[in-house]
Structure 1
């Protein structure tokens, strides 16, 4: 079994690795695109936060998939990814520990002053969903010394009522003055794949959305309620805000 991957390729600009995330990279000045998908390995998000600033300092596009178990929160560190512009993180089911605090992903945002686009994909059943209860102020974390003046687009696919996810969304809104668009997709990306309603209202209907289980539909409706209650009122007027709920054409009456 491969335990360590050592790379010495001065012209390497893209790196997609699926395996044990113990990577040593020399001469990485040209490395711009990194995609890491671990196999049977825990703590990939913490590993990436610790290691990438040194092994891929100039990375501009980064994609991470949670590994076998993310039971340790992503740490806040002083190291930076100064050139990172596009960040995609996937929280996979069933590997995400219920003890993992999704709010700790703010560490990546803090480390990336040039970040322009952030996509967070949360798979169904990856997180414990919370009831839509509690005062509005309960969904705010203590202010961190963090501000991003470059982030323009944020999309969360699989947005749900999990409190830590709501807190992360609120934190992004309150600390990102450059934000232009925030999209919350409550259907895990499965809806509107073949039906154009919602995204392209004037387009021709070409089929039906992928089916959603009764539980997924209930959770999607709860997520829409959560966004309306805790997020909508915090969105600045200059920000394009969209919540994608279950397709009204394909899931009517369900």
Structure 2
């Protein structure tokens, strides 16, 4: 799209220049046009001409200041910027100053296994070498290297050279992603020494080794660190933190070498902490005082010591028992929590406690499992709603492949009611993958009857991943659904119509999302 807009701009400017020249009494080789010799064969990268008789008029672009052209060029994706530089030599200088370089087989238009005829040199390596060598270094901000699968250990020296060049040019954002089968590369941490790494603000590493040491002082400008499937230990990260006091965002995903992650109090600017997975992780010990967002996914045996949590605004926890943990532990620790997201595949009944979430505005709970424990009482979630008097939105997802709860149709009498409690701020409630479990029907009835501020109640039966009507569904067909799930979806709709809809006030908009009509039971 960027290339198309630029070509349109060039065409409009060319038309204006031609009209202006016709009004003048001077020869037509005006500004922006250069007369050349007879027509010659050559590459489109070398010429872009208008033909008049025996002469070729080389178009150098509209008469705009060079810095404006350079700015327009910098806004284009790398591949489009390279194409424009091939169309006209006038854009070669700005191409050599392009601020964002992304190298992958896709951006370079290469096949998955693109090597030279003798199999020794990678075409990917040759192109990246050429572009980085020709780059002026002026304005370079980001470098993203997505190493293809045909790279071997002997090719790793190329990566070292590219990183050395990028650091010499003062790169600010560096991303290195290796293929899963070629992930034994050791990131050359020594290249960051002697101030070479102090320009980097964002470091993104995937599938490599990263071994910071206490003797190297670097990354003083680093504000964001992203590590995914990286071989690193907690002690090695501990060597990095004292030299990265500007760090604001730390993301550690599936780094199995970390047993204990300790975040020191000297990271005063750290506001975002995300820790996902890690087979050996046993504890997270945070002492950074100003974290406002915390995301965790892992085993329920991992000990969470979050330290000072007065600044905590948003929390997401994904592990077994997360709802029970959040209800019993967080109200007294996170007094200013505003948004809470929980995901669990096994739960205990949510207790009724006196502690409150006085600032919680948004709550999302996902109770998802192939077979969620049949003993769980969905109606107990009403205690969570009652503990958040200023809650505005509530999203509940209860997907399960095999419903083992007591069905409302098996025991339709004596629907339970919670003790009298009116909610005056909750406006929007959505329950996804609604089923005919009796305790879930009772929860929906409780919401309809006790939430005086309710504006919209949305109940969604189990759906296909893609529906016929979805814009992103190119096939125009729904994904197939298991017969058991489809039967349960229609039973859920029947339960909604029979037991819940009559209790919804006329002032509340009830949205019931049924399975697509293309599915037949």
Report the TM range for the smaller structure's normalisation.
Answer: 0.7 to 0.9
Contact 2:359-2:390 at 8 Å conserved across structures: yes
Q: Does residue 288 of structure 2 align to residue 14 of structure 1?
A: no
Q: TM-score, normalised by structure 2?
A: 0.43
Is the partner of 1:93 in helix, strand or coil?
coil
2:501 is aligned to 232
Q: Is contact 1:4-1:20 (8 Å) kept?
A: no
**Partner-residue secondary structure (3-state), 2:400:** coil
Given the alignment of the two structures, is residue 195 of structure 1 paired with residue 468 of structure 2, yes or no? Answer: yes
- Give how far 1:45 is off: 1.7
Q: Which residue of 1 aligns with 2:459?
A: 184
Corresponding residue for 2:338? 60
Q: Does 1:35 align with 2:309?
A: no
Partner residue in 2 for 1:51? 329
Contact 1:18–1:37, Cα closer than 8 Å, also in 2:
yes
Task: Check conservation: 1:91, 1:126, Cα contact below 8 A.
Answer: no
Q: Give the deviation of 1:123 after TM superposition.
A: 1.3
Structure 2 residue corresponding to 1:24, chosen from 305, 316, 325: 305
What is the rounded CA distance, in whole Å, between the counterparts of 1:212 and 1:45 in structure 2?
Answer: 29
Matched, 1:132 2:409: yes
8 A contact 2:371–2:400 mirrored in 1: no
**Corresponding residue SS for 2:326:** helix
Residues 86-125 of structure 1: pairs in structure 2 closer than 5 A: 86-94=362-370, 96-125=372-401
Provide Cα deviations, 1:73-103, integer angstroms capped at 9, x if missing partner. Answer: 1101100111111111111114632111111
Which position in structure 2 is the counterpart of 1:200? none
CA contact (8 A) 1:140 1:170 kept: no
Q: How many residues align?
A: 238
Specify which structure has the bigger relative contact order, considering alpha-carbon pairs within 8 angstroms and separated by 6 or more residues: 1
Q: Aligned-pair distance for 1:194?
A: 4.3
| Correspondence for 1:150 among 425, 433, 455 | 425
Equivalent-residue separation in structure 2 for 1:20 and 1:49 (angstroms): 18
Residues 408 and 441 in structure 2, CA contact (< 8 A), matched pair in contact too: no
The answer to whether the 8 A contact 1:34-1:63 is kept is: yes
Residue pair 1:63, 1:89 contacting (<8 A) in 2 also: yes
> In the superposition, relative to structure 1, how do residues 52 and 177 fare at CA in structure 2: closer, same or farther (>3 Å)?
same
CA RMSD, aligned part only?
2.2
Would the aligned equivalents of 2:372 and 2:400 in 1 still touch at CA under 8 Å?
Answer: no
Instruction: Considering fraction of residues, name the structure with more helix.
Output: 2
| Corresponding position of 2:440 | 165
Q: Which runs of 5+ in 2 are unaligned?
A: 1-279
- What is the TM-score of this pair, normalised by structure 1? 0.85
Per-residue CA deviations over 1:114-149 (Å, capped at 9, x if unaligned) read 1111111011236425152555x62232x3142211
Match of 1:233, SS state, is helix
Determine which of 218, 223, 232 is the counterpart of 2:492: 223
Q: Does the 8 Å CA contact 2:401/2:485 hold for their aligned counterparts?
A: no
Residue 204 of structure 1 and its aligned partner are, at CA, apart by 10
Quote the Cα distance in structure 2 between the aligned partners of 1:145 and 1:9.
42
For 2:481 and 2:375, the matched residues in 1 are separated by 27
Secondary structure (helix, strand or coil) at the match of 1:26 reads coil
Unaligned runs of 5+ in 1: 198-202
Could you tell me which residue of structure 1 aligns to residue 30 of structure 2? none
The separation in 2 between residues aligned to 1:223 and 1:18, in whole angstroms, is 31
2:356 corresponds to 1:85:
no
